Amino acid sequence: MKVLNVFWWLAYVCIAIFLQLFISGVDFFLPGIIVALQEKKITQFGVVFLLFVLIQEGIGTMPFGNVFLWYSLAIIFFYSWRWFFEIESFTFILLLSAALAVSHYFIISVLAEIQDIYINYKSLQDESVYQMFLTPIMWHTANYLRRGFRYVPQD
């Protein structure tokens, strides 16, 4: 079953990269991070996190680790809010995606200012809003497709 798990994540990576080609500025890897966190498999999460950070930092335009910072905030928000919400509820995902969209705006704004990079704030605001609305949709799709792999013991 481990091989199918690897193929599922590779398929997710291919789909996320494909979608990012058409909707620039929206991170389609973020819902995968959330799904990996919900599965509570530390090794799997570590590999997925590292792979997603390397891909995003490699194709990104900023020379500093904004993706690592943003994904780390996702982990912090996830673990600090799981005490108040059911982690697979749509309300939790909506709140998480809203918080991450706002944090995305501020992280990019601050790092662009520090690195003296020009940024169009209207486009950044639009990207953050798209991220807020597309994250729950992508999470729901990935979570639904992932159900068969969720509780299968890994070798």
Q: Which domain holds residue 131?
A: 2-150
Q: Tell me the pTM.
A: 0.86
Q: Residue 155: inside a domain, yes or no? A: no
pLDDT in tens, 31-90: 999 999 988 889 999 999 999 998 888 776 666 678 888 899 999 999 988 888 877 788
pLDDT in tens, 81-135: 888 887 778 888 999 999 999 999 998 888 888 888 888 889 889 989 999 999 9
Tokens read off for 114 = 């520090």
Helical H segments across the chain, by residue range = 2-22, 30-39, 42-59, 66-81, 90-114, 121-150
Does residue 88 sit in helix, strand or coil? coil
Tell me how long the chain is: 155
Taking the C-alpha atoms of residue 51 and residue 54, their distance in angstroms, rounded to an integer, is 5
The count of structural domains within the chain is: 1
Neighbour tally for 82: CB within 10 Å: 14
